């Protein structure tokens, strides 16, 4: 069964690394729903959060294929794990004097912030899980969406960072084999 | 510490990496490297087209088990390597490709002969680099060699800007291991996985081992022999696995797949356990996947975790080097009485009608199968055979029985016509004493025939057997079977191959009847230089059996029985 999967990936911060990751997904026909890349606590390391539609077997191979890239340091499929997943949206919505109060009320419910007010529009900033942003967008749509940008998801496990999530018994051997051969990135990040 | 140019560092690192020969072609952006070649301890072979250089590096690597090296200039030189790089990628062959690049200040400006070759080769290399500073040449090349040969081997391209070749740097060789924090060439083998494999083997009544290229790459032939001798499990081979397990072993079944032996394919379909070793369930091996070995449980051993479960769902995936896995598995797998299974395979073998070679109609014509069969006999099965792609390649695989690893070199995954001649030139440097035979079609030969010049210039001895049927034979066969016999764009009007050889100052021979085969083979072996033999074979013969593309593995087209079959069998000697 294909579903949205979230991967956390650490990569070396070098020219062309993002291209290698994206090229892998293109070549193997994996469908990227969102991709976010940014700095980490260590300057030479970047972190990519990938959301991909995949079944269990495909998810396993995505992880294995990512690990084949020389510049990829660590991969974790955090789907189903206790993770905080957030994305941010900037939404410009039509709002004249008559509608402004109503929109501000909705913002309160969704904990969205008003970051700019113009005579006939509001610029809102919202952070949250994807479905929360989706719902905010739906309730704002009738007022008139003038412009919108969403970042794609970033994710972090609660508590200690965990490794890959086992998906099927036949993969158990692989899972147990993996931690030894992975660099101790997770521990370093936990301390940072 | 000594001050050297990037170009001098390059040759120094190659020599220290154990490289004794490189295959290449000079040009503007690589000239500093060529200028520094004069003082180098490495032999350079001048090719006629960069594709040949990549295939030579590939053939050298396959014949030796070491890493092959090719060199080209920027732009067209680099893009000419692409087919050879893709070929090495598909067949997991360790090669390092060095390309010149325009000066770093010109990068991205569409300068003369500038091509973004790291971008172009991104999906067809294991890894690649752009080097723009002389001080990065040595560490990058060391990483390149390490990555190319470790884990699942593959091609690595190093693109070096002209200024990085020219400028000076302090060079000191560092012997410490290459450190790549994100690179995991091998994973530790889980002991539980071996336990599970032992249990699955213990329960099987109709097991088959599928031996692939990984058995050859890992040098695991002897360990595989141990496992087979302890358990009595028969072995089927992929095309690239041929020679990994001796064809003369009584439990060697032969090749599987689209043009595999019929009894091998039937046995796989009837098996209750497949033990796949270093192979990747290519579509040419499985046929239609949803009818593939449906009653078999499957153990898949591969060094690359991403191969497991890619095509065929398996019951147990073991990630690891085939030799490592076998060294733990072989001592623990117990002998079982598999005589009923052996009997059943014997029946299938009998049922499989007579061998192809017996069913050939006695037309008085020369058949490619005869040439292969006779070549095997005349070389006592000891030749190093390099084949191209097409019908002759399948006939070689069927009729030349390889008992030793690295004695069949062929383009499997990519199916690259034009591979054989240059790959054989590379193999010559890896195996200077070997009796090397290039088996090639008349079509594929002409794709890289210019490398005959390289043979002549470098004094390289090869025996080239052109299986000349005047067609692009495999495509013609598909046209006959699946396209209503419309032979569109497959008939070839060829040059006179004997005269072509002579034009290069080489010996050319022509064979049109079977009784001339032995004489020509002996004559060729006796000549000091490269010999080209034009074997004029039956024009419209086809390779049997054949699993049509998309059909089940058991669903084979068989050779129509001859009314007066030839009496000789493939095993008659």
In a domain, B253, yes or no: yes
d(CA B407, CA B62): 9
Burial of A142 (0-12, 13-18, 19+ CB in 10 A): exposed
ipTM attached to this prediction: 0.91
Taking the Cβ of residue B316 and every Cβ of chain A, the question of whether any pair is shorter than 8 Å is answered with: yes
Q: How many folded domains does chain B comprise?
A: 3
Q: For the residues of B128-140, what is the DSSP string, one character each? A: EEEE-SGGGHHHH
Long-range contacts of A12-17 (CB under 8 A, 24+ apart): A12/A44, A12/A45, A12/A46, A12/A71, A12/A72, A12/A73, A12/B181, A12/B182, A13/A39, A13/A43, A13/A44, A13/A45, A13/A46, A14/A71, A16/B118, A16/B130, A17/A46, A17/A69, A17/A71, A17/A72
Q: Out of B316, B335, B351, pick the residue that ends a domain.
A: B351
Q: Out of B330, B351, B372, pick the residue that ends a domain.
A: B351
> How many other C-beta atoms can be found within 10 angstroms of the C-beta atom of residue A81?
18
**Beta-carbon separation of B183 and A70 below 8 A:** yes
Q: Taken in order A69, A75, A80, A86, is the CA torsion positive or negative?
A: negative
pLDDT in tens, B186-215: 888 989 999 999 999 999 999 999 999 999
d(CA A6, CA A4): 7
In a domain, B390, yes or no: yes
Q: Are residues B360 and B342 in the same domain?
A: no
Residue B546 DSSP class: B
pLDDT exceeds 70 at position B147: yes
Give the mutation candidate from A18, A71, A177, A183 for the B interface (greatest B CB count, under 10 A).
A177
Give the mutation candidate from B305, B316, B317, B319 for the A interface (greatest A CB count, under 10 A).
B305
Q: Are residues B347 and B361 in the same domain?
A: no
d(CA A60, nearest CA chain B) in Å: 8
Name the token pair of A36.
């976010």
Averaged pLDDT for residues B461-480:
98
Q: Are residues B158 and B223 in the same domain?
A: no
Q: Are residues B331 and B478 in the same domain?
A: no
In a domain, B67, yes or no: yes
Taking the Cβ of residue A168 and every Cβ of chain B, the question of whether any pair is shorter than 8 Å is answered with: no
Q: Are residues B164 and B215 in the same domain?
A: no
Q: Are residues B321 and B199 in the same domain?
A: yes
- What pLDDT was estimated at residue B559? 83
Instruction: Name A93's bridge partners.
Output: A122, A145
Q: Are residues B243 and B337 in the same domain?
A: yes
Regarding beta strands A45-54 and A113-118, do their DSSP bridges make them parallel or antiparallel, or are they unpaired? Answer: unpaired
In a domain, B554, yes or no: no
pLDDT in tens, A109-148: 999 999 999 999 999 999 999 999 999 999 999 999 999 9
Name the token pair of B43.
């032999």
**Which distant-in-sequence residues (6+ apart) come within 8 Å of B133 by Cβ?**
B104, B164, B167, B169
Question: Searching chain A, which residue's CA lies closest to the CA of residue B144?
Answer: A70
Report chain A's mean pLDDT, rounded to a whole number.
Answer: 83
- What pLDDT was estimated at residue B164? 98
For chain A, first and last CA: distance in Å?
A: 37
Chain A residues with CB under 8 Å of B314 CB are 170
* B6 in Cβ contact with B164 (< 8 Å): yes
Q: Are residues B128 and B200 in the same domain?
A: no
Confidence of residue A160 (pLDDT cuts 50, 70, 90): low
**Which distant-in-sequence residues (6+ apart) come within 8 Å of B486 by Cβ?**
B479
Q: Are residues B439 and B494 in the same domain?
A: yes
Domains of chain A (ranges; CATH) run 3-82+158-191 (3.30.70.260), 84-150 (3.30.70.1150)
d(CA B492, nearest CA chain A) in Å: 36
**Which distant-in-sequence residues (6+ apart) come within 8 Å of A165 by Cβ?**
A76, A77, A78, A79, A80, A81
The answer, yes or no, to whether the previous bond of A120 is cis (omega within 30 of 0) is no
Task: State residue B527 phi and psi, 5-degree precision.
Answer: -70, 140
**Beta-carbon separation of B182 and A72 below 8 A:** yes
* B64 in Cβ contact with B431 (< 8 Å): yes
For chain B, first and last CA: distance in Å?
A: 63
Confidence of residue A162 (pLDDT cuts 50, 70, 90): very low
* A30 in Cβ contact with A109 (< 8 Å): no
Which residues of B are the active-site residues?
50, 112-113, 162, 474
Option in A19, A60, A176 nearest B309 (CB)? A60
**Beta-carbon separation of B190 and A173 below 8 A:** yes
Q: For the residues of B176-214, what is the DSSP string, one character each? A: SPP--TT--S--PPPHHHHHHHHHHHHH-SSEEEEE-HH
Q: Are residues B143 and B245 in the same domain?
A: no
- The model carries a pTM of 0.93
Q: Are residues B308 and B261 in the same domain?
A: yes
Q: Out of B351, B375, B410, pick the residue that ends a domain.
A: B351
Q: Would you call A189 helix, strand, or coil by DSSP?
A: helix
Q: Are residues B244 and B385 in the same domain?
A: no
Say which CATH number the domain at B245 has: 3.40.50.1220
Chain A residues with CB under 8 Å of B306 CB are 61, 64-65, 67-68
- What pLDDT was estimated at residue B83? 98
Three-state SS letters, B170-185: EECCCCCCCCCCCCCC
| Domain enclosing residue B235, as ranges | 191-351
In a domain, B558, yes or no: no
Name the token pair of B299.
């153990």
Nearest CA-CA partner of B286 in B236, B244, B219, B214: B236
Nearest CA-CA partner of B70 in B554, B423, B331: B423
Q: For the residues of B105-161, what is the DSSP string, one character each? A: GGTTS--TT---HHHHTGGGSSEEEEE-SGGGHHHHHHHHHHHHHSSS--EEEEEEE
Say which CATH number the domain at B116 has: 3.40.50.970
In a domain, B564, yes or no: no
d(CA A125, CA B535): 77
In a domain, B200, yes or no: yes
A159-173, B41-55, B169-183: which range is least confident on average?
Answer: A159-173
DSSP H or E run through B168:
strand B168-171
**Beta-carbon separation of B309 and A68 below 8 A:** no
pLDDT in tens, B239-296: 999 999 999 999 999 999 999 999 999 999 999 999 999 999 999 999 999 999 999 9
């Amino acid at each position: 069964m294909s579903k949205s999967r979230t991967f956390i990936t650490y990569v070396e911060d070098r020219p062309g690394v993002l291209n290698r990751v994206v090229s892998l997904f293109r070549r193997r026909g994996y469908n990227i729903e969102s991709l976010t890349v940014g700095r980490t606590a260590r300057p030479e390391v970047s972190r990519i959060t990938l959301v991909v539609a995949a079944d269990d077997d495909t998810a396993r191979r995505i992880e294995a294929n990512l690990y084949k890239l020389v510049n990829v340091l660590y991969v974790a499929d955090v789907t189903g794990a206790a993770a905080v997943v957030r994305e941010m949206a900037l939404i410009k919505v039509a709002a004249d004097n008559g509608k402004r109060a109503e929109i501000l009320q909705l913002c309160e419910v969704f904990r969205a912030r008003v970051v700019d007010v113009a005579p006939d529009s509001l610029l809102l900033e919202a952070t949250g899980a994807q479905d929360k942003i989706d719902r905010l967008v739906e309730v704002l749509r009738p007022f008139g969406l003038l412009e919108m940008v969403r970042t794609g998801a970033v994710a972090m496990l609660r508590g200690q960072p965990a490794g890959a999530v086992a998906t099927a018994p036949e993969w158990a051997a692989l899972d147990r084999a993996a931690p030894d051969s992975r660099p101790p990135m997770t521990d370093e990040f936990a301390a940072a | 510490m000594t001050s050297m140019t990037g170009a001098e560092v390059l040759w120094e690192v190659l020599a220290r990496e154990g490289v004794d020969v490189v295959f290449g072609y000079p040009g503007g952006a690589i000239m500093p490297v060529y200028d520094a070649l004069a003082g180098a301890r490495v032999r350079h072979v001048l090719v006629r087209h960069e594709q040949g250089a990549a295939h030579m590096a590939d053939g050298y690597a396959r014949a030796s088990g070491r890493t092959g090296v090719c060199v080209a200039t920027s732009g067209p030189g680099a893009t000419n390597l692409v087919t050879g790089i893709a070929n090495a990628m598909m067949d997991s062959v360790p090669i390092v490709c060095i390309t010149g690049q325009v000066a770093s200040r010109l990068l991205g400006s569409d300068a003369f002969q500038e091509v973004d070759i790291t971008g172009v080769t991104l999906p067809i290399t294991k890894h690649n680099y752009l080097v723009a500073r002389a001080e990065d040449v040595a560490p990058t090349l060391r990483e390149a060699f390490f990555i190319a040969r470790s884990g699942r081997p593959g091609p690595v391209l190093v693109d070096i800007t002209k200024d990085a070749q020219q400028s000076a740097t302090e060079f000191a060789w560092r012997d410490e291991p290459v450190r790549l924090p994100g690179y995991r060439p091998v994973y530790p083998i889980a002991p539980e996985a071996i336990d599970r494999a032992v249990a699955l083997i213990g329960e099987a009544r109709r097991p088959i081992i599928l031996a692939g290229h990984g058995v050859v790459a890992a040098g695991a032939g002897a360990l595989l022999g141990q496992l087979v001798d302890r358990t009595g499990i028969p072995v089927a081979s992929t095309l690239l696995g041929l020679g990994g397990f001796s064809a003369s072993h009584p439990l060697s079944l032969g090749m599987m797949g689209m043009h595999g032996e019929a009894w091998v394919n039937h046995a796989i379909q009837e098996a209750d356990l497949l033990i796949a070793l270093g192979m990747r369930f290519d579509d040419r091996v499985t046929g239609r996947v949803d009818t593939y070995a449906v009653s078999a449980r499957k153990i898949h051993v591969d060094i690359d975790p991403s191969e497991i479960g890619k095509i065929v769902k398996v019951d147990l995936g073991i990630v690891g080097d085939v030799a490592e896995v076998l060294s733990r598995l072989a001592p623990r797998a117990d002998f079982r009485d598999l005589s009923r299974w052996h009997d059943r395979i014997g029946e299938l073998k009998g049922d499989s009608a007579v061998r192809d070679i017996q069913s050939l109609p006695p037309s008085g014509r020369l058949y490619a199968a005869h040439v292969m069969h006779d070549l095997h006999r005349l070389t006592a099965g000891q030749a190093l055979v390099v084949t191209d792609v097409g019908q002759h390649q399948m006939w070689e695989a069927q009729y030349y029985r390889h008992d030793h690893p690295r004695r069949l070199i062929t383009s499997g995954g990519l199916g690259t016509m034009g591979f054989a001649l240059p790959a054989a030139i590379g193999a010559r440097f890896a195996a200077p004493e070997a009796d090397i035979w290039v088996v090639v079609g008349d079509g594929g030969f002409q794709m890289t025939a210019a490398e005959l010049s390289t043979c002549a210039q470098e004094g390289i001895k090869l025996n080239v057997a052109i299986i000349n049927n005047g067609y692009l034979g495999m495509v013609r066969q598909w046209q006959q079977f699946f396209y209503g016999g419309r032979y569109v764009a497959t008939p070839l009007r060829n040059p006179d191959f004997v005269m072509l050889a002579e034009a290069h100052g080489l010996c050319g021979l022509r064979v049109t009847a079977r009784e001339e085969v032995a004489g020509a083979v002996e004559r060729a072996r006796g000549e000091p230089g490269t010999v080209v033999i034009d074997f004029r074979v039956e024009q419209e013969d086809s390779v049997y059996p054949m699993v049509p593309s998309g059909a089940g593995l058991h669903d084979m087209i068989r050779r129509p029985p001859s009314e007066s079959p030839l009496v000789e069998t493939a095993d008659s000697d």
